């Protein structure tokens, strides 16, 4: 097959591709390390080593607005119709580069220390126990809706100091907002994301004023206190930071649990390796992250001249897309990469990124997934798929619509 034909099969609107993108991603990766996606105008990377390098390359950035105007890089001005969406991510860590990124990241990192995450463990365990006991009472249960979503939202809300009673609101907003990050969107989806962002901003502002009046020792109050003491964080910065933590803090965790448990239960004998004690849940987490990436694509802008990736010269203002799902199955990096091996335990994958944007929540996410797998193994030693699950019709954020599970008699 010609290279053009292989590239044409990278079609995020093709249900067959979404159902199982890996055969196409494997072909693409073996055909070329880099190709131009004519639909998005992005240079697209397929191999682990190139993605790994790009994540660390300081000549590339997640945004360019600290250095260039849109016109200078021949890019369209942001669409004024989606102003609330733009406002919500304006000060998000994911949209900043140094020096603003360094300043805000330092403050957030203080709260996400390994010690703080370890201290969260009893709380995380408590949420898992409560929800998994309920799943056991249900008999057949839906892992995402009955467990993973309420679990991960409860965890991040309790770290931030957001009332648990508001989690349904936050879930709905977050689901609508993250659709904006797909390669293929419609105005209806953008409108939904924008109005969700507007409501989310109002909610967060009112939360901040409540914390100002009645501080606690949780993250939102900590961010407010920093602002009050040293005029370091503005209200807009606190709003964006709180929102990115809520969003980033649960979508990927939910999808790692869904995609990962589906993978385990579709490979005979793998669950028994966990329930029988051969493979610790902590080890299982890494293969769950690698084999079916919950986040398939991340982007960077070229900020300087002279960048060459996989032999391809890249111009200032060009956009680069890293295909994580492809990189995580690269045989140059992983032995027998299509094999789902729950004991693989390779922690040096790129599932949490790398470089200055490395996932702030990685220790928390690992802990959440470990506690969940352990809780499932303890209660459901004979767990099995109750039906064949299907994926949401999205590419970038890869997750199941539902995952119905039951214990085998």
Binding site for ligand HEM (CB under 6 A): 55, 62, 93-94, 105, 156, 244-245, 248-249, 252-253, 256, 289, 294-295, 298, 351-353, 357, 359-361, 364-365
Please give the residue whose beta carbon sits closest to ligand HEM in the complex: 361
State the nearest-atom distance from the C-beta of 80 to ligand HEM, in Å: 26
> Which is nearer to ligand HEM, 43 or 298 (by Cβ)?
298
- Residue showing tokens 């990469």: 337
State the nearest-atom distance from the C-beta of 266 to ligand HEM, in Å: 20
Structure tokens at 229: 């003491």
Give the three-class secondary structure for 321: strand
State the nearest-atom distance from the C-beta of 247 to ligand HEM, in Å: 8
> Which is nearer to ligand HEM, 9 or 62 (by Cβ)?
62
Rounded CA-CA distance 262/292 in Å is: 10
Structure tokens at 145: 């809706």
**Which residues have C-beta within 8 Å of that of residue 137, sequence separation ≥ 6?**
none
List phi, psi (to 5°) of 308: -130, 125
> Which is nearer to ligand HEM, 33 or 361 (by Cβ)?
361
Rounded CA-CA distance 78/335 in Å is: 43
10 Å Cβ neighbour count for 196? 23
State the nearest-atom distance from the C-beta of 365 to ligand HEM, in Å: 4
Closest CA to 287 of 343, 359, 334, 350: 343
Q: Cβ distance 294 to 152 under 8 Å? A: no
10 Å Cβ neighbour count for 274? 22
- Omega of the bond prior to 286 within 30 degrees of 0, cis? no
Closest CA to 322 of 360, 363, 357, 362: 357
């Amino acid at each position: 097959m010609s290279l053009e034909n292989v590239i044409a099969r990278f079609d995020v609107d093709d249900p067959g591709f979404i159902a199982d993108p890996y055969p196409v991603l494997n072909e693409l990766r073996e055909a070329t390390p880099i190709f131009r996606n004519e639909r998005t105008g992005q240079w697209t990377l397929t191999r682990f080593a190139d993605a790994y390098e790009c994540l660390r390359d300081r000549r590339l950035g997640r945004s360019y607005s600290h250095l260039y105007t849109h016109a200078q890089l021949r890019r369209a001005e942001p669409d004024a119709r989606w102003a609330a969406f733009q406002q919500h991510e304006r000060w998000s860590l994911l949209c900043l580069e140094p020096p603003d990124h360094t300043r805000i990241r330092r403050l957030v990192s203080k709260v996400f220390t390994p010690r703080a995450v370890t201290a969260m463990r009893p709380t995380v365990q408590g949420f898992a126990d409560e929800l998994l006991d309920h799943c056991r009472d249900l008999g057949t249960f839906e892992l995402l809706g009955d467990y993973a979503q309420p679990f991960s939202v409860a965890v991040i809300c309790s770290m931030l100091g957001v009332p648990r009673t508001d989690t349904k609101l936050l879930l709905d907003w977050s689901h609508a907002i993250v659709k904006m990050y797909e390669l293929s969107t419609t105005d209806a989806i953008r409108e939904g994301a924008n109005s969700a962002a507007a409501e989310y901003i109002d909610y967060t502002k009112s939360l901040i004023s409540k914390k100002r009046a009645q501080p606690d020792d949780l993250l939102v109050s900590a961010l407010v206190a920093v602002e009050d003491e040293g005029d370091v964080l503005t209200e807009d910065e606190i709003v964006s930071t709180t929102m990115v933590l809520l969003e980033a803090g649960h979508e990927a965790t939910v999808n790692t649990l869904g995609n990962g448990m589906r993978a385990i239960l579709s490979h005979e004998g793998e669950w028994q390796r966990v329930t029988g004690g051969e493979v610790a849940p902590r080890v299982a987490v890494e293969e769950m992250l690698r084999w079916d990436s919950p986040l398939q694509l991340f982007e960077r802008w070229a900020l300087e001249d002279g960048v060459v990736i996989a032999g391809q010269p890249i111009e200032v203002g060009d956009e680069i897309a890293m295909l994580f799902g492809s990189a995580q199955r690269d045989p140059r990096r992983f032995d027998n990469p299509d094999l789902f091996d729950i004991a693989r335990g390779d922690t040096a994958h790129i599932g949490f990124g790398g470089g200055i944007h490395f996932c702030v929540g990685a220790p928390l996410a690992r802990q959440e997934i470990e506690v969940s797998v352990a809780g499932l193994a303890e209660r459901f030693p004979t767990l099995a798929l109750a039906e064949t699950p299907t994926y949401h019709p999205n590419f970038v954020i890869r997750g199941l619509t539902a995952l119905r599970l039951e214990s085998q008699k």
